[in-house]
Structure 1
Amino acid sequence: MLETPRYIMSLPTSLSSLIILISVATAPLAVSGASLTDDAHCGCYLTNGTQAGFFSNHKFYDFRNLPQYAGVPGSVANPNDAANAGVSSQYFNDENWTSVWSIQNWNNSNGARSDASVLMVNSPSNVYIEANGDPNPTSQTWLTLRTQRLPGQSSNQSSGFQSAAEIESVSSGFQFLSMRMLARTVGGSGAITAMFTYRGSDTLANVQEADLEIRTHDPHNLIHYTNQPSYTTDGQTIDQATENATLPDGLSWANWAVHRLDWTPTSSTWYVDGFMVANISFQTPRDPSKVILNAWSDGGQWTGNMSVGDAAYMQIQWFEIVYNSTDAKSKRDDNGPYGRLPLTMTRRDASTGQCRAVCSIDETSDQGQPVMLWASGAQPRNVAGGWAVWVPSVLTGLVLFAMSAGLLR
């Protein structure tokens, strides 16, 4: 029996009924018989959600079974030494990591927020693989991003400094994506952990960013979602840029949950464990961007002020992303320029740009391994204007039937 997605259950009854009807009718085409495969056999990836979409590339980072790299580095008490610290293990020197991610070591001394009261220094020592110490663990390890308030070592550092963690994608060419992580945030008050897309600018109004931010002094069921900027140069708040979401009962950012961002040309949509919790169409990012994860504080009003000695941690079991890219070099370069664009729905070839094998990361039984939804036997269905959702002709009949039956008014 088909399980109704949780985001559908929140829709009006008439629309929900129609979607369930459509799901039943199209299930044999998409989900039924879907089998595990690998990326080499996938032409593109179709996501579920309130705005389904096609993406040309897939990456999966699994931090659950890396005991050979596990170890918690000691805190580096000097800000200069913290910035210059080496990576915590050889895992972060491997090409599989360095070709995609860069561990940051910048500080906010030249670009601090106006109310920042503490020097913040990103340190490679705050990014590490940690052994799972949970009771009844479901993994051996996870990735940790740590931020910690450390005491000063001289009269010039009377307030100490905030040691922070940030990883950025090497590429700034992500343009529309669906990214997810199984993560939790734990530790002391006064810090922020985040997952977001980012395109910087010298002008605040031209910054493009879709972000998820968890403030550790907030209630455990509150998360902030924003299409930045959320304020103007004169300090005025842009209310329509942000949704401060209360999670459904039973969900908490302090517990393991799958956090997901779908960035499309028309909106940014966020989910937690399959529940849609925020959707913002105002100033949706439009241009190629980076992907960033971080844990930080600067003692300002937004982050709060962490007590000396306290620390907070974002712990991640896995991170997964399907995306389109403007990079000249991408997974699909062997198939021509279509690898950098949203695709059509049958296995791609260089002459037509078609995708002849449609895969899913949503319907899989093995996290990180896609399943094949349909292959070359299906009729090509074009993606107009670089972005569209497949609407086969059978749906037209279903809509007419639903209207006559009173399901859709």
Structure 2
Amino acid sequence: MAAKGATVFWEPMTYYNSQSWHKADGYSNGNMFNCTWRANNATFTNDGKLRLALTSPSHNKFDCAEYRTNFNTGYGLYEVSMKPAKGVGTVSSFFTYTGPTDGTPWDEIDIEFLGKDTTKVQFNYYTNGVGGNEKIIDLGFDASQSYHTYAFDWQPDSITWYVDGVAKHKATRNIPKTPGKIMMNLWNGTGVDDWLGPYNGANPLYAYYDWVKYTSN
């Protein structure tokens, strides 16, 4: 239940709502990202889902997808119904982010699925660029096979992550404080085989998102 006076943003992923969302296009995050964001790789299915694609237009070149809000949000409850891609060397995500390109500290809160084992989910966060807070949770199911609800409750003194409404992990140290954008992406890595496993070029791969909800404090 939303707190009295809370703002609720709920988006069914049925079409491209350009008033609220933006598709990354034509650039790469560099370093570990072995692909270029393409707006055409963020599309909507006939049954009303956002589909992020990882594709290869030519040998050893890869295109990926990122979708993010046009506005910033802060403390509150973040929820998503999604189905990540399965594929070694890839990441499907739901997170909040702000950083130097926005003129702010690098603050980030993550829900990440490593495609090498989609029976697990990784939670993480960065505060002013300081990370090292990874926590891997066994789900008891294969997340790539069906939609489930994943969430985190971001408060000034804690972050609590949930799977299908059940609390799975809580952090209380050095919590981020800078509002950021709600983001989702699918990408393939390079030079991070110890984390993601080696990407073998398999494509196309898809991550699907049914809806997103944010409830402020």
Instruction: State how far apart, in whole Å, the 1-side matches of 2:203 and 2:11 are.
Output: 29
1:146 to 14, 39, 53: 53
Higher strand proportion: 2
Which residues in structure 2 correspond to 1:110-129 (within 5 Å)?
A: 112-113=30-31, 116=32, 118=34, 120-129=35-44
TM value normalised by structure 1? 0.47
* Residue matched to 2:65: 165
Instruction: Return structure 1 stretches of 4+ with deviation > 2 angstroms.
Output: 148-152, 186-189, 229-232, 302-309
Instruction: State how far apart, in whole Å, the 1-side matches of 2:24 and 2:107 are.
Output: 20
Instruction: State how far apart, in whole Å, the 1-side matches of 2:129 and 2:116 are.
Output: 21
Amino acid at match of 2:155: T
Seen in structure 2, the aligned counterparts of structure 1 residues 197 and 213 have a Cα distance that, compared at 3 Å, is same
> C-alpha displacement at 1:149, in angstroms?
4.0
Q: Secondary structure at the match of 1:310?
A: coil
> Does residue 270 in structure 1 map to residue 161 in structure 2?
yes
Question: Identity of counterpart residues, as a percentage?
Answer: 18
> Does residue 257 in structure 1 map to residue 113 in structure 2?
no
1:102 to 11, 15, 22: 22
Query: Which ranges in structure 2 are unaligned for 5 or more consecutive residues?
Result: none
RMSD of aligned C-alpha atoms? 2.6
> C-alpha displacement at 1:308, in angstroms?
2.9
> C-alpha displacement at 1:263, in angstroms?
1.0
Query: Which ranges in structure 1 are unaligned for 5 or more consecutive residues?
Result: 1-30, 32-44, 47-53, 67-90, 132-139, 153-159, 233-237, 324-341, 343-409
Q: Secondary structure at the match of 1:141?
A: coil
* Residue matched to 1:213: 112
Instruction: State how far apart, in whole Å, the 2-side matches of 1:117 and 1:294 are.
Output: 11
Seen in structure 2, the aligned counterparts of structure 1 residues 217 and 149 have a Cα distance that, compared at 3 Å, is farther
CA contact (8 A) 2:97 2:183 kept: yes
What count of residue pairs does the alignment treat as equivalent?
212
Amino acid at match of 1:310: N
CA contact (8 A) 1:147 1:191 kept: no
> C-alpha displacement at 1:225, in angstroms?
0.6
Rg: which structure is higher?
1
> C-alpha displacement at 1:176, in angstroms?
0.8
Instruction: State how far apart, in whole Å, the 2-side matches of 1:322 and 1:261 are.
Output: 11
Higher helix proportion: 1
> Bigger relative contact order, structure 1 or 2, given CA contacts below 8 A and separation 6+?
2
Which residues in structure 2 correspond to 1:58-137 (within 5 Å)?
A: 58-63=8-13, 91-92=15-16, 97-108=17-28, 112-113=30-31, 116=32, 118=34, 120-131=35-46
